[in-house]
Amino acid sequence: MTISLPATAVALFVVLAALCLLVVPSAGFYLPGVAPNDFEKKDHLPVKVNKLTSIKTQLPYSFYSLPFCKPDTIVDSAENLGEVLRGDRIENSPYVFEMRVPQMCQIVCKISVGEKEGKGLKEKIEDEYRVNMILDNLPLVVPIQRVDQEGAYFYQHGFHVGAKGQYSGSKDEKYFIHNHLSFTVKYHRDAQRDVSRILAFEVKPYSVKHEYGQWNDKKTHLTTCDPHAKRIITSSDSPQEVEVGKDIVFTYDVDFKESDIKWASRWDSYLLMTDDQIHWFSIVNSLMIVLFLSGMVAMIMLRTLYRDISKYNQLETQEEAQEETGWKLVHGDVFRPPANSDWLCVYVGTGVQFFGMMLVTMVFAVLGFLSPSNRGGLMTAMLLLWVFMGLLAGYSSSRLYKLFKGSEWKNIALRTAFTFPGSVFTVFFFLNILIWGQKSSGAVPFTTMFALVLLWFGISVPLVFVGSYLGFKKPAIEDPVKTNKIPRQVPEQAWYMNSIFSILIGGILPFGAVFIELFFILTSIWLHQFYYIFGFLFLVFLILIVTCAEISIVLCYFQLCSEDYLWWWRSYLTSGSSALYLFLYATFYFFTKLEITKFVSAILYFGYMLIASYAFFALTGTIGFYACLMFTRLIYSSVKIE
């Protein structure tokens, strides 16, 4: 089943259009190594605040949902679709930086803690929420010394709102807020032009109970933090407790450090994996095992098939052919349309749509278009590509439908356009209601929800119908052998050829191919870490394709040899069953690696992982199906049928 040149050309045009959509809004798109910002001395550096995040609740909140200091006017930054879906809420902040101008003990504001404010702060400290900020498109990080390497650091995204602790000699736990921030801005200076480029944005948070005489707004003289008296905050010996009715003074320092690191390499330290050696070993080990199994499978299949085909072609009489057993005996039934063939067409079309989306996304990511510096870029690209790949979904589903002698192509197009997106949208809408009920910034606004529906109905659905029309208009694919009018009876199968057992066994190897990489992907999503090893991910994706194809072909061959010609659905479910193992592993990951305690957060986790497993099922199942389709057409066209 090949796509004709016109359809391929249209698909290529669609992909290029998607790329243009991603690149045109340059204000929100970042390509590593392009368009750095040059700052002269004393230039204003806008510090922006982002959402509050927690790995314990997975529910983001806006920065100003807590009683933090606010600027005179809060201005929202323009956000792309991916940022909104991630729950990002980027706003301006009251922190004022000037390039290469150090500041010490700057007062931001003083707030009075009421009943509501105290409760909110304590809840966020209890749930270990972190504050996220942005400077020159760089996220704020807390450098933490690595135990295994002296002088080496790894970086925690954002700083904790506060911490729980006890006073010396007391057993009562108290809540302390980080109200003093010691910022460090690293920069690279061009001596010839006397301009600087920002390389890093770091912070060390402290909890300090400030002392002062008469309060005079930001001109107050603090006795606990006085640069003239050389009293600089370096510890939290006298922390600021969160108490109702008490005041909290927020302060900050800014220090600028020159560095020899080039601007193009400024993300290297952010993207450094703390367990890189384990990751390398695991990837290489997985690759070697899969390649070894692939070589074994290919060798066995080629030798066995060559022997079978040679033997069948040497039979001289019809009587000799009837005495033979094996896959040739079911040639009159092997291409008989399966039960519920309409739904098979729909799911194959959905899988092709996913395959196209994943392939193009991986290529963009490997080329550096979707680096973490482009917040929300990966999600935006995947959504747009999914929408435009509806053309391929409609084309492939209608081509298969016509192979099954179907005539109602519009019905298949309608199901292809609505089955998977409709079920995912229903789950997503339900989860969004739960998030909205928690008053989280992660709740997708109505305008964004409307934009998603518009992309679905306005672009994806019409493209599915266009693809279906193009696919159905082409001549039907001819089967290599004729199908008998009366179905052949399937003999009783051995226990190990039972459909359920065979399907479950078939999903183990594809899951094993992505098992290691899956751990890092889940960690990046649910533990809020960067993921930037797209080269390895692309390699694993290729291994997954080969593994799904080979395991499906092998089990399909064994099935046909046992004279069971009902291979259509089983070929799809064999590799597609790896999605079951993915969901089981996600469940294991939830109970062993995450610290989620809230019921709503658990529902969110399993809801999103259910969607991911559903998509993985469509992707892997389609790969296995097409591999078996090409395999069966190849072997039955290679033998002489009397």
Cα–Cα dist 105/254, whole Å: 9
3-state SS, 294-345, equals HHHHHHHHHHHHHHHHHHHHCCCCHHHHHHCCCHHHHCCCCCCCCCCHHHHH
Q: Is 382 exposed, middle or buried (0-12, 13-18, 19+ CB in 10 A)?
A: middle
Q: Are 522 and 503 in contact (CB under 8 A)?
A: no
Residue 418, C-beta contacts closer than 8 angstroms, at least 6 positions apart:
461
Please name which of 417, 409, 360 lies closest in space to residue 384, comparing C-alpha atoms.
360
Q: What is the dihedral of CA 304, 310, 312, 314, to 10 degrees?
A: -150
pLDDT of residue 228: 72
Side chain identity, residue 329 = L
Q: Are 132 and 158 in contact (CB under 8 A)?
A: yes
pLDDT of residue 286: 66
Cα–Cα dist 427/433, whole Å: 10
| pLDDT tens digits for range 422-446 | 999 999 999 999 999 888 888 888 8
pLDDT of residue 313: 67
Cα–Cα dist 313/317, whole Å: 11
pLDDT of residue 259: 87
Please name which of 165, 161, 166 lies closest in space to residue 179, comparing C-alpha atoms.
161
| pLDDT tens digits for range 342-376 | 999 999 999 999 999 999 999 988 887 877 777 78
Please name which of 390, 450, 380 lies closest in space to residue 421, comparing C-alpha atoms.
390
Radius of gyration, CA atoms only, the chain: 30
Cα–Cα dist 242/355, whole Å: 52
Residue 272: band (very low, low, confident or very high) from pLDDT cuts 50, 70, 90: low
| Highest mean predicted confidence (pLDDT) among 67-81, 159-173, 543-557 | 543-557
- Tokens for 488? 């052949």
Q: Is 494 exposed, middle or buried (0-12, 13-18, 19+ CB in 10 A)?
A: exposed
Residue 172 has pLDDT above 80, yes or no: yes
Residue 57, CB half-sphere, CA atoms under 13 Å: how many?
Answer: 21
Residue 642: band (very low, low, confident or very high) from pLDDT cuts 50, 70, 90: low
pLDDT of residue 453: 92
pLDDT of residue 374: 76
Q: Are 59 and 414 in contact (CB under 8 A)?
A: no
Residue 255: band (very low, low, confident or very high) from pLDDT cuts 50, 70, 90: very high
Side chain identity, residue 141 = V
Q: What is the dihedral sign for C-alpha 111, 114, 117, 119?
A: positive
Question: Could you tell me the end-to-end alpha-carbon distance of the chain, in angstroms, rounded to an integer?
Answer: 26
- Tokens for 444? 């997708």
pLDDT of residue 75: 86
Q: Are 48 and 411 in contact (CB under 8 A)?
A: no
**What's the residue count for the chain?**
642
Residue 359, CB half-sphere, CA atoms under 13 Å: how many?
Answer: 14
Please name which of 572, 586, 585, 582 lies closest in space to residue 626, comparing C-alpha atoms.
572
SS3 444: coil
- Tokens for 393? 């979904």
pLDDT of residue 151: 64
Residue 149: band (very low, low, confident or very high) from pLDDT cuts 50, 70, 90: low
CA-CA distances (angstroms) from residue 142 to 159, 262, 483, 529?
A: 6, 21, 68, 13
Residue 2 has pLDDT above 80, yes or no: no
> Where do the H-state alpha helices sit in 32-169?
81-86, 115-126
Average pLDDT over residues 234-254: 86
pLDDT of residue 634: 85
| pLDDT tens digits for range 288-308 | 767 776 776 777 667 666 776
Which carries the bigger pLDDT value, residue 172 or residue 324? 172
Side chain identity, residue 305 = L
Q: Is 230 exposed, middle or buried (0-12, 13-18, 19+ CB in 10 A)?
A: exposed
Q: What percent of the chain has pLDDT over 70?
A: 86
Residue 163 has pLDDT above 50, yes or no: yes
| pLDDT tens digits for range 125-146 | 999 999 999 998 889 988 887 7
Q: Is 520 exposed, middle or buried (0-12, 13-18, 19+ CB in 10 A)?
A: buried
**Mean pLDDT taken over the chain:** 83
Residue 624: band (very low, low, confident or very high) from pLDDT cuts 50, 70, 90: very high
- Tokens for 496? 């190990």
CA-CA distances (angstroms) from residue 597 to 159, 204, 590, 605, 606?
A: 21, 28, 10, 11, 13
Cα–Cα dist 85/522, whole Å: 18
Q: Look-up: residue for tokens 């191919």?
A: 513
Residue 613: band (very low, low, confident or very high) from pLDDT cuts 50, 70, 90: very high
Residue 641: band (very low, low, confident or very high) from pLDDT cuts 50, 70, 90: low
Cα–Cα dist 124/117, whole Å: 11
Please name which of 139, 19, 159 lies closest in space to residue 83, comparing C-alpha atoms.
139
Q: Look-up: residue for tokens 């399907």?
A: 503
Residue 154 has pLDDT above 80, yes or no: no
Side chain identity, residue 518 = L
Q: At what angle do helices 461-473 and 5-23 cross, to 10 degrees?
A: 160
Residue 220: band (very low, low, confident or very high) from pLDDT cuts 50, 70, 90: confident
Residue 176 has pLDDT above 60, yes or no: yes
Which carries the bigger pLDDT value, residue 566 or residue 390? 390
Cα–Cα dist 33/37, whole Å: 11
| pLDDT tens digits for range 524-537 | 888 887 777 787 78
Q: Report which secondary-structure segment, H or E, holds 130.
A: strand 130-135
| pLDDT tens digits for range 310-338 | 766 665 555 554 444 577 777 788 888 89
User: What backbone torsions phi and psi does residue 139 show, to the nearest 5 degrees?
Assistant: -75, 150
Q: What percent of the chain has pLDDT over 90?
A: 33
| pLDDT tens digits for range 565-594 | 888 999 999 999 999 999 999 999 999 988
| pLDDT tens digits for range 7-61 | 333 343 334 344 343 333 333 333 443 578 889 888 999 899 999 999 899 899 9
| Range of lowest pLDDT (209-218, 230-239, 392-401, 420-429) | 230-239
Give the start-to-end residue ranges of the domains of the chain: 38-270, 273-306+502-641, 337-478
Q: Which residues of 331-472 form beta strands (DSSP E)? A: none
| Highest mean predicted confidence (pLDDT) among 114-118, 508-512, 610-614 | 610-614
Which carries the bigger pLDDT value, residue 67 or residue 9? 67
- Residue 138 DSSP code: E
